[in-house]
């Protein structure tokens, strides 16, 4: 492979799922992520990188350089009849794979897709991938694909799993756990989805190395999204670690570490513990709570091990020096509670060895094994997002702030931290800029919307850069606008709040009553943007 510093770079884009701002070592965590830490120390960390608060909208935004509503995924994957909410990628946007493929790149994807329409896990006989309303990665620019089409499911037996255009495994009927089945945390067989995503990514790098063409590899992990599924040897590293001090001690420790690393301004106070989370000393079932966080940490640990294998494959193929690697998360930590008879019961399934899976956060059942289906819940998500407020779904800082590690030895100087605000919508224009590929005006005979994102390539080479246009968010009625030092934000149904991001990024001092002109200015910009991209009132009418 031609990988001299003068050749066009390769790109490896790694996206993880539901991971909070402070969940990896180089962003203040106690979780062991040596491969990501080494990547960060050899490259650049961003302190103010934003996503779009939820799985589908973030992916649509990142892949197309357009806002989710413009890409067809204004909410999730259900089709509500509006082009902005059709639940799958529209034809008037191009994906990163389509844009780069048109410029001579080979394109590969391993992992979660989640921008191709809704799939009911209880009715696999109705799935029609590739047909109208269900585009697959191969139809949106990827030469090779391995992964799941839908958003969540078992790590030991994922449904909607495909390799290229063929199903590898499909889900079966749901069921409930038999009486007396308790602590059975071992994986069934050797299959674990995080490992499979990593292994397939390695194979794709090896395949790409057989030609002189540059390549783009999109690695889309489902870890650490619920369910809490992990391997026993990884869980053992963390079991008991969180028992002393729990989420309260964890939030404080991570905040202090982030300040010490220079990622956060020491003036920014940590947000108060969420009022829905009890003090750790009053928490029930502390051993079980410790185990939930241990399994979550194990999921991240295993993902980092896979990143290490991907980096080793890049070195072995002599592509490492001229590959731009980007690592980030699709939203903040997830506070969703999984009840035994709630909406998530649709994901329940039989384990491969014939045991029914039990859904729900039940303290009588230890998390981690293939027959369980739990989340780590609000108090631990509050720690994952330290020091920020709120979670996945919301567009306060806890829901939209992500680590971003950028590594490119031929261009990026080591151990850099940049504080300019960037957004996931900026990734496509940045990659196109680095590859020297203009954004197309049309694709497959159809006109293409212009990019909304801005290239931050100058930052990667050490030059000064700041975003010129406002960043907008809307998800489930949660709204925000950000430019420079100011951020206007509201929860669904709530009034606008205004924060000075230079002095108060943890959003503790609302200035909306003291600076009405800025509220009116940003509010007017939001209204014009919302009308332009097709935002509909929440809740949606189906």
Q: Over the stretch 415-464, which tens digit does the pLDDT of each residue have?
A: 999 999 999 999 999 999 999 999 999 999 999 999 999 999 999 999 99
CA distance 142 to 98: 7
Helical pair 286-316 and 193-208, crossing angle rounded to 10 deg: 10
**Total residue length of the chain:** 542
The SS3 call for residue 507 is: coil
DSSP string, 470-499: PEEEEETTEEEEEETTEEEEE-TTSPPEEE
DSSP string, 144-206: EEEEESSS---SSS-SSEEETTEEEE-------PPTT-----PPSTT--HHHHHHHHHHHHHH
Cα 302–Cα 307–Cα 313 angle in degrees, nearest 5: 130
pLDDT in tens, 151-179: 999 999 898 899 998 888 644 433 333 33
What pLDDT is stored for residue 119 in this prediction? 86
Assign domain 14-460 to a CATH class.
alpha beta
CA distance 372 to 227: 8
For residue 447, what are the β-bridge partners? 442
Band of residue 358 on the pLDDT scale cut at 50, 70, 90: confident
What pLDDT is stored for residue 344 in this prediction? 67
Q: What is the CA radius of gyration of the chain?
A: 22
pTM above 0.85, yes or no: yes
CA distance 250 to 31: 11
pLDDT in tens, 264-310: 999 999 999 999 999 999 999 999 999 999 999 999 999 999 999 99
């Amino acid at each position: 492979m031609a990988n001299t510093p003068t050749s066009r770079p390769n790109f490896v884009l790694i996206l993880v799922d539901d991971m909070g701002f402070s969940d990896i070592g180089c962003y203040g965590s106690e979780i062991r992520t040596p491969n990501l830490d080494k990547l960060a120390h050899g490259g650049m960390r961003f302190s103010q990188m934003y996503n779009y608060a939820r799985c589908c909208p973030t992916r649509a935004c990142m892949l197309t350089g357009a806002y989710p509503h413009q890409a067809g995924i204004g909410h999730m994957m259900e089709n509500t009849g509006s082009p902005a909410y059709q639940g799958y990628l529209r034809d008037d946007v191009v994906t990163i794979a389509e844009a780069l493929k048109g410029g001579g790149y080979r394109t590969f994807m391993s992992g979660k897709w989640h921008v191709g329409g809704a799939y009911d896990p209880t009715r696999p006989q109705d799935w029609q991938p590739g047909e109208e309303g269900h585009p697959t990665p191969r139809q949106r620019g990827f030469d090779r694909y391995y992964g799941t089409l839908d958003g969540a499911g078992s790590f030991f037996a994922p449904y909607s799993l495909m390799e290229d255009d063929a199903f590898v495994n499909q889900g079966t009927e749901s069921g409930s756990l038999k009486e007396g089945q308790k602590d059975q945390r071992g994986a069934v067989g050797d299959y674990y989805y995080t490992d499979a995503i990593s292994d397939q990514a390695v194979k794709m790098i090896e395949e790409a190395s057989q030609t002189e063409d540059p390549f783009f590899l999109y690695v889309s992990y489902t870890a650490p999204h619920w369910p809490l599924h992990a391997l026993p040897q990884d869980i053992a590293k963390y079991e008991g670690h969180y028992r002393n001090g729990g989420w309260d001690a964890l939030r404080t420790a991570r905040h202090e570490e982030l300040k010490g690393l220079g990622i956060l301004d020491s003036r920014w106070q940590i947000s108060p513990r969420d009022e829905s989370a009890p003090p750790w000393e009053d928490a029930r079932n502390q051993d079980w709570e410790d185990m939930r966080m241990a399994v979550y940490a194990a999921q991240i640990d295993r993902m980092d091990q896979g990143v290490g294998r991907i980096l080793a494959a890049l070195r072995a193929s002599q592509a490492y020096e001229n590959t731009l690697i980007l690592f980030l998360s699709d939203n903040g930590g997830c506070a969703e509670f999984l009840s035994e008879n709630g909406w998530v019961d649709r994901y329940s399934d039989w384990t491969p060895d014939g045991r029914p899976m039990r859904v729900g956060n039940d303290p009588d059942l230890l998390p981690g094994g293939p027959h369980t289906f739990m989340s780590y819940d609000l108090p631990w998500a509050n720690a994952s997002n330290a020091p920020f407020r709120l979670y996945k779904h919301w567009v306060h800082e806890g829901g939209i702030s992500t680590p971003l590690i950028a590594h490119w030895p031929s261009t990026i100087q080591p151990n850099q931290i940049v504080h300019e605000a960037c957004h996931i919508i900026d990734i496509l224009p940045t990659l196109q800029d680095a590859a020297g590929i203009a954004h197309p005006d049309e694709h497959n005979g159809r006109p293409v919307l212009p990019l909304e994102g801005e290239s931050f390539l100058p930052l990667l080479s050490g030059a000064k850069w700041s975003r010129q246009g406002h960043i907008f968010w809307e998800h489930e009625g949660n709204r925000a606008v950000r430019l420079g030092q100011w951020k206007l934000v509201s929860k669904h149904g709530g009034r606008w709040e205004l924060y000075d991001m230079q002095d108060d990024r943890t959003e503790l001092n609302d200035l909306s009553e003291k600076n009405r002109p800025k509220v009116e200015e940003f509010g007017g910009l939001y209204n014009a943007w919302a009308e332009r991209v097709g935002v509909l009132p929440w809740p949606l009418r189906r």
